């Protein structure tokens, strides 16, 4: 998120996440937004209700935890940057019916190793 931020911006970039989401995923991203260079980011809330103009970061969990649905961007505006969190992109957790090919993708090995909350981007 630090690399995607505008370091000369007059206000923090909003980071949004579409509901419903599993609390652990939300808390991981919320804590990341809240602790890393707070002056660069702010929690923008649910992507479905996000109306603010300007730059934003949207975190997309696909397949989503807890419902397993495949997700796309909700906000869909040109000012945004998308971060695809593919922690549940494993065939034993969801039916993988798409080829993940996004600019920014996060994966995890925690499902296999037991290191909860670890992300590799």
Structural domains present in the chain: 13-113 (3.40.640.10)
pLDDT at site 107: 81
Q: Among 17-21, 26-30, 75-79, 92-96, which stretch is predicted with the lowest mean pLDDT?
A: 26-30
The residue-averaged pLDDT of 38-46 equals 80
Q: What is the 3-class SS of 44-96, one letter each residue?
A: EEEHHHCCCCCCEEEEEECCCCCCCCCCCCCCCCCCEEEEEECCCCCCCCCCC
| pTM of structure | 0.76
Mean pLDDT of the chain: 78
Is the pLDDT reported for residue 95 higher than 90?
no
SS3 113: helix
């Amino acid at each position: 998120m630090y690399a995607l931020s505008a370091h000369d911006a007059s206000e923090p970039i909003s980071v949004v996440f579409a509901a419903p989401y599993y609390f652990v995923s939300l808390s991981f991203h919320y804590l990341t937004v809240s602790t890393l260079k707070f002056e660069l980011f702010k929690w923008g809330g649910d992507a479905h209700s996000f109306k603010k103009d300007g730059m934003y970061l949207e975190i997309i969990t696909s397949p989503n935890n807890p419902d397993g649905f495949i997700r796309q961007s909700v906000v869909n505006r040109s000012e945004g940057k998308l971060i695809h969190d593919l922690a549940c992109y494993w065939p034993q957790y969801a039916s993988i019916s798409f080829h993940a090919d996004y600019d920014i993708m996060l994966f995890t090995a925690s499902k296999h190793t037991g290191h909860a909350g670890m992300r590799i981007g």
